């Protein structure tokens, strides 16, 4: 399918209120479109079906599935634009105000006390930035995301009964083929500082410095994943990875699927990962649900291909936003440890929101 027809198709299915997802995997030359032929909501329970899943943060709710048997798929190559895309400026940014800063700082302070009092290691706390945006143009924003974040999982997902989401995730939850799986421990954040490190060429050319808090925070994530899986796994050294203008620390972890350690089992062990929830998982989740004061919905859930040609590729839903009633809601958070500084944590969410703001 050529570029024009492919993007016209997306506009048409969105206008006709059919469920669809358009996505591109990290560093892939392909953009895929899956359109469900009806507007039923299907779920997956055992992860044996084939299709595209979209799961909420709360792991007691089932992931939504676009079954491949009820969908039509299209593929397009990832090409440069024909013409420069014009900017549709957002009308008003509502939430970056002092009151939302104070609220987030207070939440982080409460989080730190919760960790100290219970001797827990980490909790990830988040918020929403709300932007009035009447001139929303789905295809235009999607293509800008694609162009800006080619090393991320870039998607737009829609179901008329659920909503419209867009994002550019840097985090793999789980990749699997018939016999093996790969996951990652991703955590800690700093802005890529051009003044300090020079114009970006490759991470190999720069020596990035990480503080002790960041190194320890990411190590908790690695340790927790290894402990949860509780089988022999291969673990890489931690290294720096770039997502948009942000840097994170990442460790790759891989192992074998077995009769005991199935896809479903691993997803249940990993989701929600300490990169988006905390350590210990259930206690951190309880704190999040009781104290964040809003519903994360699909932010920090996961999404991706399930058993397509015997392969699965699931990503954590980070750096994402939802379009609701002429507003865009950008979801952003960060990992809190006892050494966190509440104001720096606020600034980190502002930096993360720029990943999305940049394409508006
Ligand atoms: C929770 C988010 O990021 C997670 C992933 C990478 C680094 C993170 C951090 O540095 O805190 C977070 O754990 C988010 O982007 O909303």
DSSP 337-360: -TT--HHHHHHHHHHHHHHHHTT-
The CATH number covering residue 231 comes to 3.60.120.10
Give the distance (Å) from ligand 1 centre to CA of residue 242: 13
CB 165 within 8 A of CB 156: yes
244 within domain boundaries: yes
What atom in ligand 1 is closest to the CA of residue 335? 11
Measured in Å, residue 67 CA sits from the centre of ligand 1 at 30
Q: Is residue 89 part of a domain?
A: no
Centre of ligand 1 from the C-alpha of residue 334, in Å: 5
Segments forming the whole domain that contains residue 253: 3-79+119-351
Distance 2 CA to ligand 1 centre (A): 36
Closest CA to 140 of 75, 76, 77, 83: 83
Q: Is residue 151 domain-resident?
A: yes
Q: Is residue 242 in some structural domain?
A: yes
Residue 142 Cα to ligand 1 midpoint, Å, equals: 22
Nearest CA to ligand 1 atom 13: 275
Q: Looking at residue 134, what is its pLDDT? A: 81
Secondary structure in 3-state letters for 134-170 = CCCCHHHHHHHHHHHCCCCEEEEEEECCCEEEEEEEC
pLDDT of the chain along its 360 residues, tens only? Answer: 788 889 999 999 999 999 999 999 998 989 999 999 999 999 999 999 999 999 999 988 999 999 999 999 999 987 644 444 444 455 455 456 778 899 999 999 999 999 999 999 999 999 999 988 888 899 999 999 998 888 899 999 999 999 999 999 999 999 999 999 999 999 999 999 888 888 877 888 888 999 998 999 899 899 999 999 999 999 999 999 998 889 999 999 999 999 999 999 999 999 999 999 999 999 999 999 999 999 999 999 999 999 999 999 999 999 999 999 889 999 999 999 999 999 999 999 999 998 888 888
The protein residue with its alpha carbon nearest to ligand 1, atom 10, reads 188
For ligand 1, the distance from its centroid to the CA atom of residue 199, given in whole angstroms, is 24
Asked if residue 99 is part of any domain, the answer here is no
Q: How many domains in the chain?
A: 1
Residues having CB closer than 6 A to ligand 1 are: 124, 126, 186-189, 248, 275-276, 318-319, 332-335, 352
| In a domain? residue 360 | no
To test the pocket of ligand 1, the residue of 167, 186, 189, 279 to mutate (highest count of ligand atoms within 8 Å of its CB) is 189
User: Which residue is closest in CA terms to ligand 1's atom 4?
Assistant: 275
Contact 20, 35 (CB under 8 A): yes
Q: Is residue 96 part of a domain?
A: no
Query: Two tokens at 275?
Result: 């990169």
Is the residue at 94 inside a domain?
Answer: no
Write down the H helix ranges in the chain.
Answer: 3-15, 98-118, 138-148, 194-197, 212-229, 263-270, 281-291, 342-357
> Which of 107, 126, 46, 67 is CA-nearest to residue 329?
126
Atom of ligand 1 nearest to the CA of 319: 15
- Among 345, 295, 324, 302, CA closest to 123: 345
């Amino acid at each position: 399918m050529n570029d024009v027809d492919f993007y016209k198709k997306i506009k048409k299915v969105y206008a006709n209120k059919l469920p669809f997802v358009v996505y591109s995997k990290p560093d892939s030359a392909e953009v895929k479109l899956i359109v469900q032929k009806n507007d039923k909501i299907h779920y997956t329970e055992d992860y044996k079906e084939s299709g595209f899943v979209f799961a909420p943060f709360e792991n007691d709710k089932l992931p939504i599935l676009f079954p491949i048997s009820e969908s039509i798929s299209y593929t397009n190559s990832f090409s440069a634009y024909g013409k420069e895309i014009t900017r549709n400026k957002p009308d008003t940014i509502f939430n970056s105000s002092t009151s939302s800063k104070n609220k987030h700082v207070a939440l982080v302070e409460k989080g730190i006390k919760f960790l100290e009092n219970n001797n827990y290691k980490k909790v990830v706390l988040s918020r929403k930035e709300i932007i009035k945006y009447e001139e929303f143009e789905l295809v235009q924003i999607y293509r800008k995301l694609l162009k800006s974040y080619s090393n991320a999982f870039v998607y737009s997902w829609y179901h008329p009964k659920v909503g419209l989401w867009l994002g550019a995730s840097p985090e793999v939850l789980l990749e699997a083929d018939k016999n093996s799986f790969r996951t990652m421990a991703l955590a800690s954040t700093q802005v890529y500082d051009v003044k300090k490190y020079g114009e970006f060429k490759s991470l190999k050319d720069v020596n990035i410095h990480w503080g002790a808090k960041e190194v320890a925070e990411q190590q908790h994530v690695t340790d927790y994943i290894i402990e949860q899986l509780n089988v022999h796994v291969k673990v890489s050294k931690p290294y720096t990875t770039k997502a948009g203008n942000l840097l994170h620390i990442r460790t790759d972890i891989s192992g074998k699927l077995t009769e005991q350690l199935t896809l479903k089992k691993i997803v249940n062990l990993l989701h929600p990962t300490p990169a988006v929830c905390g350590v210990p998982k259930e206690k951190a989740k309880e704190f999040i649900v009781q104290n964040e004061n809003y519903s994360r919905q699909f932010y920090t859930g996961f999404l991706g291909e399930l058993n397509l040609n015997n392969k699965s590729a699931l990503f954590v839903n980070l750096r994402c936003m939802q379009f609701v009633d002429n507003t865009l809601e950008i979801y952003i958070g960060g990992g809190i440890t006892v050494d966190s500084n509440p104001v720096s944590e606020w600034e980190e969410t502002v930096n993360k929101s720029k990943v999305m703001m940049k394409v508006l």
